[in-house]
Amino acid sequence: MSSVTALNGATSNGIINVADAGLMGMITLRGDLASAGMAKAVKAATGSPMPAMRQITTGKSGAAAWMSSDELLLMVDYADADAVVAKISKSLGAAHHLAVNVSDARAVFNLPGDQIRDVLAKGSPADMSNDAFPIGEVRRTRIGQLAVAFWFTDAQNAKLVCFRSVGGHIMRWLENASEIGSEVGFH
Amino acid sequence: MLSLTCPNCGITADETDLHCDGQAHITRHGAGSNDDDLETYLFMRNNPKGVHFERWRHVYGCGKWFHAARCTMTLEVFGTYSAQTFEPPKALINKIKKKRPEFEGFVK
Ligand SMILES: [Zn+2]
């Protein structure tokens, strides 16, 4: 059986474009982020250093996003996720932690465009200004009434993650919020 | 509009990204306690017109709990502080007293 994303390749073109980001390996990793063992496990899994508060770091084989003071979201190749989880568990051993493959429990969007901040601000109370939310930070907030996390990969591109079960709703929300003619011109 | 700065992730979050869980620093009385203590724990809350100490959770953000001191009449926020404490920090109490001379101090 082959894997499919919640969005199944959906795209829309408006004042920003919205696209299914395809299959992405995602691992929830919880534990003591200040410990040397955790930093080592993150480095081995993604090639990236331990992210500081609200930061996302990238490395040769993935990225690590700070979700809370004891939780990270690791992003790796979809096919590698289970093996990476096994590696992390082995490396952390008896240290109190949780590592789980959540790849199929999430939906991921690519959002290319130069009005991303304006579009996301239509549904989220997060401060979308460049000063408050620079490239390299992850923001966990809501869109409408749904929990999401998003971050900018550069000035023209953002990624957004939500729960798989509400992927379709977020797709329709983003499509609607980026309708041609609905430009805001604030950010 | 109310916004509180979450001490766990540093975000100044809108009220709609947060969840309030009522009065902070209450003493829990469970099985084996006497009826009066249990009643106090379950039902009795301070409700002054003014300074409140509350538990909040950054529910759409980092998911962590914290404490906030604010005025429920003016919505002025005096400060937020760690959830891992049994009473408000002295510095915060002093700050509130300076702003509100009539504030009688933290009452459990
Ligand atoms: Zn927070």
CB A36 within 8 A of CB A21: no
Query: Is this model's pTM higher than 0.90 or not?
Result: yes
CB A118 within 8 A of CB A126: no
Domain limits, chain B: 1-25+49-108
- Classify domain B1-25+49-108 at the CATH topology level: Folate-binding fold (3.30.2270)
Instruction: Please indicate whether, in this complex, the C-beta atoms of A125 and B8 are within 8 angstroms of each other.
Output: no
Domain limits, chain A: 11-21+105-177, 25-103
pLDDT in tens, A108-153: 999 999 999 999 999 999 999 999 999 999 999 999 999 999 999 9
CA B101 – ligand 1 centroid, Å:
31
- Predicted complex ipTM: 0.93
Residues with CB under 5 A from ligand 1 (ion): B 6, 8-9, 58, 61-62
Q: Is A67 left (phi over 0), alpha (psi -120 to 50) or beta?
A: alpha
The CA-based diameter of chain A, rounded to the nearest angstrom, is 56
From the list B8, B10, B17, which residue is nearest A141 (CB)?
Answer: B17
Superfamily name with CATH number, domain A25-103? Heterotetrameric sarcosine oxidase (3.30.70.1520)
For the domain made up of A11-21+105-177, the CATH class stated in words is: alpha beta
CB A35 within 8 A of CB A29: no
How many CA atoms within 13 Å lie on the side-chain side of A39?
Answer: 7
From the list B10, B13, B16, which residue is nearest A54 (CB)?
Answer: B10
Instruction: Please indicate whether, in this complex, the C-beta atoms of B60 and A147 are within 8 angstroms of each other.
Output: yes
- Edge-to-edge strand list for the sheet holding A62-68: A56-59, A62-68, A71-76, A25-31, A97-101
Instruction: Please indicate whether, in this complex, the C-beta atoms of A127 and B12 are within 8 angstroms of each other.
Output: yes
CB A162 within 8 A of CB A106: yes
Distance from CA of A105 to the nearest CA of B (A): 18
Does A145 touch chain B if contact means CB atoms closer than 8 Å? no
Which secondary structure element, helix H or strand E, spans residue A107, and what is its range?
strand A106-112
Each residue's pLDDT tens digit in chain B (108 positions)?
A: 899 999 999 999 999 999 999 999 999 999 899 999 999 999 999 999 999 999 999 999 999 999 999 999 999 999 999 999 999 999 999 999 999 999 989 988
d(CA B84, CA B11): 19
Does B37 touch chain A if contact means CB atoms closer than 8 Å? no
